[in-house]
Amino acid sequence: MEVDCLVEAKWIIPVEPAETVLHQHAIAIDKGIILDLLPACQARLQYQPRQFVTLNSHVIIPGLVNLHTHAAMTLMRGMADDLPLMSWLNDHIWPTENRFADNQFVWDGTQLACAEMIKSGITCFNDMYFFPESSTDAAIAAGLRANIGMVVIDFPTNYASDADDYLSKGLTLRDQYQHHPLLSFCFAPHAPYTVSDKTFRRIITYAEQLGIPIHTHLHETRDEIRISMETHGMRPIERMHQLGLLGPNLIAVHMIHLTDHEIKLIQRYDCNVAHCPSSNMKLASGFAPVPQLLDHNINVGLGTDGAASNNRLDVLEEMRQAALIAKATSQLADMLPAHQVLKMATLNGAQALGLGDKIGSLVTGKMADMTAIDLSDVNLSPCYNPTSHLIYCAGREHVSHVWVNGRMLLEGKKLTTLNEQNLRQRAVFWQERIASTTQ
């Protein structure tokens, strides 16, 4: 039988069934879909591929899902380090965005982010940023799968004048691209401290009508909770509960400062959590209670946050950080084992986005979003357990191949859809322009 591509690897970790590791298997891909997964010796007899890829020292996993990022903020990487969140936002990030954020800034920043994410094994990202039409075009040009946030905030920016304007522009964009095979959409109200009750109610109504997720920062810092108590007389989650925001379509980002009651509340409403361990630590926001969330069977995925607060778009690094922090904070060495954290970085993120039936695991009928990681490096030797190696040993420098919808975006560590030299030139352009006005 003829197929578009046959990929053989030393190991394949499909994520489903759980804890499965296949040795010397192959994946048959046709029209962007996983047609079959079977022993390599059988695959060679059964399929005649138009492209044949042999990866003798590699492990293939589902493409990594970055459940929370601000892609265009890559152009502000390292600009305002070692500062607490509110000072970082109010004194540096927001003033810079007010001066420079426009369609060209977002196109260039998102293209740069896409290159970094592809080279880090990420095949799908959940974005939240201004000028999402430029983020959309940049993701399409890169060939990367994206969930585009229809950002909403209750003050004017270069992008929109008020909540009505944000919503109108976001919904128009969704209408234009809702059938694109690489795109999905969500509402992205920034945070409880920047969005009013009235605006949240409108978003909830639209989300219910359209059946799409809501993606928002929630319980990131103690200051956020203090401001909510002073302004609304209640903690942010309680306010969101009263507004009707809690539900299975909610992707709550950070979720660091939680009481036992609040954890039970998000469990009851089947909410999703985007865990961003590196950003949480770098901004000194704290440690999310991931062990308790997992104990309550809450769906937790992994995000990088933006490169301005991480400063890497590297989900492999987030997997390692998530596992180590969970062990340290719980004082349980078996907390968040390797296979579970890999699921957080793949299938859990896909499920939070409503894409669990399409991506997140390597099973027949799903889209061929895959990442290959070369474990032959001397720094990775010996390898007793490839799943454990992915979490505790391998890095993004070992990512060799990436496919989205069966299309190879990274081949032998080289980008196939983006020009690195051009991206570096654009990054320098923006660095010099921004630096000239902030020094």
- Rounded to the nearest integer, the mean pLDDT of the chain is 97
Round to whole Å and give the CA distance between 245 and 266. 11
- Please report the DSSP string for 53-103 in residue order: EEEEEEEEEEPEEEEEE-GGGGGGTTSS-S--HHHHIIIIIHHHHHHH-SH
Quick one: pLDDT band at residue 342, thresholds 50, 70, 90?
Answer: very high
Quick one: pLDDT band at residue 437, thresholds 50, 70, 90?
Answer: confident
Residue 356 predicted with pLDDT over 90: yes
Residue 85 predicted with pLDDT over 60: yes
Whole-number pLDDT of residue 88: 87
Round to whole Å and give the CA distance between 255 and 237. 10
User: Torsions phi, psi of 186, nearest 5?
Assistant: -145, 160
What's the whole-model pTM score?
A: 0.98
Section 419-435 average pLDDT: 97
Are residues 66 and 348 in contact, defined by beta-carbon separation less than 8 angstroms? no
* Buried/exposed 314-348: b ≥16 CB within 10 Å, e otherwise: bbbbbbbbbbebbbeebeeeebbbbbbbbbbbbbb
Selected residue with higher pLDDT from 383 and 439: 383
Whole-number pLDDT of residue 86: 81
Share of the chain above pLDDT 70, in %: 100
Section 412-426 average pLDDT: 98
Q: pLDDT by residue (tens digit) across 196-244?
A: 999 999 999 999 999 999 999 999 999 999 999 999 999 999 999 999 9
**Domains located in the chain, CATH noted:** 2-62+365-405 (2.30.40.10), 64-352 (3.20.20.140)
Radius of gyration of the chain (CA): 21
Provide the token pair at 342: 């890999």
Whole-number pLDDT of residue 254: 98
Residue 357 predicted with pLDDT over 70: yes
Round to whole Å and give the CA distance between 147 and 365. 21
Token pair 């309550």 in the structure block, residue? 296
- Shortest CA distance to 353 belongs to which of 245, 209, 249, 210? 249
Q: pLDDT by residue (tens digit) across 141-159?
A: 999 999 999 999 999 999 9
User: Based on the number of CB atoms within 10 Å of its own CB, is 96 exposed (0-12), middle (13-18) or buried (19 or more)?
Assistant: buried
Report whether the peptide linkage leading into residue 311 is cis, meaning its omega lies within 30 degrees of zero.
yes
Residue 439 predicted with pLDDT over 70: no
Quick one: pLDDT band at residue 438, thresholds 50, 70, 90?
Answer: low
The continuous run of DSSP H or E covering 33 comes out as strand 33-39
Token pair 């896409």 in the structure block, residue? 114
